[in-house]
Amino acid sequence: MINVALLGCGYWGQNLCRVLAQNRKLRLSWVSDLNPAALERAGRLAPSARTATDPEQALSDPSVDAVVVATPVASHAAVALKVLEAGKHVFIEKPLARSTAEAEQVCNRAEHKRLIVMVGHTFMYNGAVRQVKSIIESGALGDIYYAFSRRVQLGIVRQDVDALWNLAPHDISILNYWIDRPVERVAAVGQAFLQRDIADVVFAHLTYSGNVAGHIQVSWLDPSKVRQVTVVGSRKMLLFDDVSTDARIQIFDKGIDVENLDQGMGSFETYAQHRLIVRAGDVWLPHVDMREPLAVEMDEFADSIHEGRAPLTDGRKGLEVVSILERLTRAMKLDHTQLSLVS
């Protein structure tokens, strides 16, 4: 059994607390949160764990092998470095840090101390996301042209990070995993309606090598909850819908074929020699085995520690995501709209 401490038991930390309390490979021995009310909730979810408002109590306990961090983004790097200094493996919620420099510092420190850093890119532990990866790898979709990810809903409005840093780590980690090529160019437009300099809505565009495009829309100011990624390939198209209960993956035998009208003329010379034929065939709904992604994620943390290997979403993978977020922020044109105040 690996003894684990959880630092931060707020909105998201309580989910980790519940899953850790039920995990068979990890023993949740401490929960620490600066807010005593969060610890009361933790006490109900994990009655056998000790609680403390001072995180040092858990960090100085020599029986603690690993620490799970679910504190606000601004504190991630500092808390992770403290955990590593205490000689413990660390799991950090996404995004790994607020800058590439901070993320690199955490990765370098962990490598130097031979400790594991894992980042909470939860979607890598989602059965449907993994199944889509196998479908893409099988070649069933043909060449991937582009993927379009939409993650919108009403709230939760953050004050410490914008919608890009709060929501897009998920989309970027999914697209990086599926497309699996380096990002060559980025572009982004953001709109801030509710708070100064904090984008509520962001349209981000990634150009992967080979001109494969990844487009992302994130927003916490939208009437509907949508979590969908469309992947368009040369042979087939696919929709991943994370909020669907019965059709998480839909594969469409749809596309547009280019027919060469004059075989004798050889290849692609002029547009006039070709005809575009719309193909609208069947739709398949493959069965998806779904275990709670957070439980799979915590198992991966435990297994990587046991086996002394890098986890699927190690620090370097987290660093890649932070670096793309940073590039998008630099490229982002942020438009402000006059606040509409309620009287």
Q: Which residues bind ligand NAD (CB under 6 A)?
A: 7-13, 32-35, 38, 55, 70-73, 75, 79, 93-94, 120, 122
Given CA atoms 305, 117, 121, 37 in this order, what sign does their dihedral have? positive
User: With respect to ligand NAD, which residue has the nearer C-beta, 33 or 104?
Assistant: 33
**Which residue number, 67 or 206, has a Cβ lying nearer to ligand NAD?**
67
Q: Which is nearer to ligand NAD, 119 or 302 (CB)?
A: 119
CA–CA gap between residue 96 and residue 76 (Å, rounded):
7
Residues 214 and 301: their CA atoms lie apart, in Å, by 29
Q: Which residue is nearest to ligand NAD (CB)?
A: 10
- Taking the least distance from each CB to ligand NAD, the nearer of 7 and 84 is 7
Angle at which helices 163-179 and 315-331 cross, to 10°: 120
Can you name the residues that pair with 91 across neighbouring β-strands? 68, 118
Residue 64 near residue 83, CB atoms below 8 Å? no
User: What's the min distance (Å) between Cβ of 13 and ligand NAD?
Assistant: 5
Rounded least distance, CB 243 to ligand NAD, Å: 14
CB of 95 or CB of 233, closer to ligand NAD? 95
Pick between residue 104 and residue 297 the one whose CB is nearest to ligand NAD.
Answer: 297
Which residue, 21 or 232, is less far from ligand NAD as judged by CB? 21
Phi-psi region of 176 (alpha: psi -120 to 50; beta: other; left: phi over 0): alpha
- Degrees to nearest 5, angle at CA 64 with 60 and 65: 120
Q: How far is the CB of 71 from ligand NAD (least distance, A)?
A: 4
β-strands 183-192, 201-208 pairing: antiparallel
Min CB(254)–ligand NAD separation in Å:
31
Helix (H, G, I), strand (E, B) or coil at 284: strand
CB of 57 to ligand NAD, least distance (A): 11
Q: How far is the CB of 118 from ligand NAD (least distance, A)?
A: 12
Residue 10, Cβ density class (10 Å: 0-12 exposed, 13-18 middle, ≥19 buried): middle
The pair of structure tokens assigned to 141 is 């979709």
Shortest distance, position 119 Cβ to ligand NAD, whole Å: 9
C-alpha dist (Å) from residue 149 to 107, 152, 242: 28, 10, 11
Q: Which is nearer to ligand NAD, 17 or 26 (CB)?
A: 17
The CB-of-122 to ligand NAD minimum distance in angstroms stands at: 4
Task: State the number of CA atoms in the 13 A half-sphere of 332 facing the CB.
Answer: 25
Nearer to ligand NAD by Cβ, of 122 and 191: the residue is: 122
The alpha carbon dihedral of 40, 46, 49, 55 has a sign of negative
CB of 161 to ligand NAD, least distance (A): 7
Q: Where are the beta strands (DSSP E) in 144-211?
A: 144-154, 183-192, 201-208
